[in-house]
Amino acid sequence: MNTRSKRPNDFRHLTLDSPSTSHQRCREPKLFPKSSNTLSPPAKVLLSSGKCYRPPGRFCLDLPLDTLRTASPVFSYHPMPAIKAQFASIHSLSAGTGAPSLAEIISALSFALDLTEGAVPGHALRCCLLGMRLGNELGFSNESLADLYHALLLKDVGCSSNAARMCQIIGGGDDRAVKSGVKLEDWTRPHQPSLSSVRLLWNSVLPDGNPFRKFGRIVKIAFTQHDNNREMIQLRCDRGASIVRKIGMSEQTALAVRSLDEHWDGGGYPESEKGEAISPLARVMAVAQHLDVFALERGPAQAMQILHERSGRWFDPQVVKAAESLRRRGALWMQCLPNPTQTAGDSARSVRASVLELAPPQTTRTSPSHIDLICEAFAEVVDAKSHFTFSHSIGVTDVASAIGSTMGHNSERRQLIHRAALLHDLGKLSVPNSILDKPGKLDGEQWVIMREHAALTRSILSRVSQFRELAFVAGAHHERLDGSGYPNKLKAADLPIEARILAVADVYSAITENRPYRAGSSPEQAMEIMKREARSKLDADCVDALAKTALAPSQPSPFLVPPASAHSLSRAYHLPYPIHNSGSSISIVQ
């Protein structure tokens, strides 16, 4: 199956966000868009005007909007000179800008949440602009507006928790494509399916199945839709509310995130609440989400038309009236639609700047402990995407922190290592579970998708200026000393010690954890592999520091997972060649 052609909207730029203006400093995907015949009206405006979609970031590739949806990449690799000087510059910049505000952090990390749902990048930011305008139009108090602001940016924070279940329901298809597509369908009427919903399911369910099996799965989905919807939304909403509480948001914000999918007529989930019983913030969020999704896919006119059609059924009529009032005054869509007079990159940066201007006054600079808490919360978001990686980010953090302590790094550098380890796989939210949970070998196309995640991690984190050093380290966890890694083929002279520590911790954790295609190895087996790799790929000092902790004779390894017969470990190690275990000897087969 051509997995790429089935992927929904996502980030397709790979950036370094470096101080240099040279695009030759990064590994750039050269992408070729397909026909624009199926583009939504806003996308056609971009393409016909020569303007291109470019998610915010210092240096991104200009890509037509449909490229993000349908293109197949052809990668070209470019060397990265003077990385040491670049890293020193990033470190100086990050250290001298003070603590970021809460709004700066969550507005940047919202791009990761967009990945989870297959949304057009910047979805949460545009929803924030739309929702805050609606809240003001409805006369919300300052306190309610503050709660609404955070809820809009974090509304999808629980979405990764049901990704594996969605993949299971559709029989191994692309969960992100289905999640993205279903937002355009009226799923409350399963016995009156539209042609587009049938097409979505046909293209998504049982990708390797024959027509009879596909038809049978679609019929089963139709008859079990109510139970599936309740289960899926319950998972997402409960998890989302829990994370919102964890990072210190108000109970009203948590309730709004949990109630996002409730409908005015009581036909929503998870509690089937009705009318005024639904959180007022959630009612606004539902309308804002609808407007952005439909406007970007089908144009603002159809977004408003369907909004009115679902008024009193899905949506609070008063919120719909507020949206119509704003539209008539020309105050609804500002900065939320492609602008033919701007590049999309400039427009996207403007959107985020406007979102930051709307930040509540109490959103002040965050304390180090609060930043750590946010990093831990988003690590949980990443790990929740697959039950095979349910503790990966936390495990990598434990290992990396132990290595840093053993090597005698000071508290500032250990804090950097800790945060980079927590967030290193943020970009994996872009990978469908059909790939993450695949029990067999990944094909070439799937490897390309998997390998994009490191650059996406850096791109997302770089949106917070104080996180640029953190972004560099987190995004380099698959680089190798001999230049064989990715995404930028960095070599030993290019990699700071923090990135080397993270690479070692990630490899160790991946090899010792269970995966869908094999059971985890013992610490002894993992160290055997890593000591061999220390000759050319991994930092020998970091591997030695790990061995002192992981294999200490006085106590069991603090990173221990159940040992098993390791075989075909190449996917755990993110290598295109296999690793085999034959008795007492574990070897990499080039």
Are residues 302 and 188 both part of a single domain?
yes
Domain extent at residue 557? 368-588
Boundary residue ending a domain (62, 86, 110): 86
Q: Is pLDDT of 453 > 50?
A: yes
CA distance 314 to 198: 21
How many angstroms separate the CA atoms of 239 and 494, rounded?
39
Determine if the peptide bond prior to 270 is cis (ω within 30°): yes
- Spatial distance between the Cα atoms of 529 and 397, rounded to a whole number of angstroms: 20
Please state the rounded mean pLDDT for residues 346-372: 87
Residue 114 lies inside a defined structural domain of this protein: no
With respect to residue 91, please indicate whether it lies within any of the assigned structural domains.
no
Helix (H) or strand (E) holding 545: helix 540-550
Q: Are residues 159 and 209 in the same domain?
A: yes
Q: Kindly state whether residues 27 and 174 are assigned to the same domain.
A: no
What is the spatial distance between Cα 53 and Cα 66, in angstroms, rounded to a whole number?
9
Count up the domains in the chain and report the number: 3
* pLDDT for residue 75 is more than 70: no
Are 383 and 524 within one domain? yes
Is 340 within the bounds of a domain? yes
Q: Residue 425 sits in a domain of what CATH number?
A: 1.10.3210.10
What phi and psi, each to the nearest 5 degrees, are found at residue 579?
-115, 130
* 354 and 234 within one domain: yes
Interval 459-516: pLDDT, tens: 999 999 999 999 999 999 999 999 999 999 999 999 999 999 999 999 999 888 877 7
Average pLDDT of the residues of the chain: 79
Contacts of 488 (CB under 8 A, 6+ apart): 16, 26, 27, 80, 455, 476, 479
Would 512 be classed as within a structural domain?
yes
Higher pLDDT, 218 or 372: 372
Residue that has been written with the tokens 């290193």 in this structure = 424
Question: pLDDT digits over 310-345, tens only?
Answer: 999 999 999 999 999 999 999 999 999 988 887 766
Q: Are residues 113 and 124 in contact, defined by beta-carbon separation less than 8 angstroms?
A: yes
Mutual angle of helices 123-137 and 142-153, in 10-degree steps: 160
Mean pLDDT comparison of 67-76, 157-166, 296-305, 548-557, highest-scoring range: 296-305
Q: In terms of residues, how long is the chain?
A: 590
- Please report, as a single letter, which amino acid is at residue 511: I
Is 256 a residue whose pLDDT tops 80? yes
Q: Based on the number of CB atoms within 10 Å of its own CB, is 369 exposed (0-12), middle (13-18) or buried (19 or more)?
A: exposed
Structure tokens at 116: 């989870």
- Same domain, residue pair 345 and 389: no
Confidence at residue 388, expressed as pLDDT on a 0 to 100 scale: 78
Residues 253 and 316 in one domain: yes
- In terms of domains, do 399 and 323 share one? no
Question: What tokens does 444 get?
Answer: 């070439």
Q: Does position 555 have pLDDT exceeding 80, yes or no?
A: no
Would 103 be classed as within a structural domain? no
- Which residue in 310, 275, 277 sits closest to 294, CA to CA? 310
**Domain end among 364, 390, 409:** 364
Do residues 341 and 490 both lie within one domain? no
Is 148 in the same domain as 168? yes
Is 105 domain-assigned? Answer: no
Indicate which CATH number applies to the domain containing 359: 1.10.3210
Report the pLDDT value the prediction gives residue 198, as an integer from 0 to 100. Answer: 83
- Asked if the structure places residue 336 within a domain, the reply is yes
Q: Specify the pTM.
A: 0.78
Place of tokens 């007529």: 265
Q: Above pLDDT 90, what percent of the chain?
A: 51
Same domain? 42 vs 167: no
Q: Is the pLDDT of residue 42 over 70?
A: no
| Reported confidence tier of residue 190, pLDDT bands at 50, 70, 90 | low
Note whether residue 108 is domain-resident: no
Q: In angstroms, rounded to a whole number, what is the distance separating the alpha carbons of residues 20 and 440?
A: 41
Catalytic residues: 428
User: Is there a contact between 488 and 478 (Cβ–Cβ < 8 Å)?
Assistant: no
**Residue 538 pLDDT exceeds 90:** yes
* pLDDT, position 577: 34
pLDDT band at 533 (very low <50, low <70, confident <90, very high): confident
The last residue of one of the domains, among 364, 379, 403, is: 364
Same domain assignment for residues 512 and 395: yes
**What letter represents residue 373's amino acid?**
L
pLDDT tens across 143-183, in order?
A: 999 999 999 999 999 999 888 888 888 888 888 888 888 88
Query: For the segment 392-423, what is each residue's pLDDT rounded down to a tens digit?
Result: 999 999 999 999 999 999 999 999 999 999 99
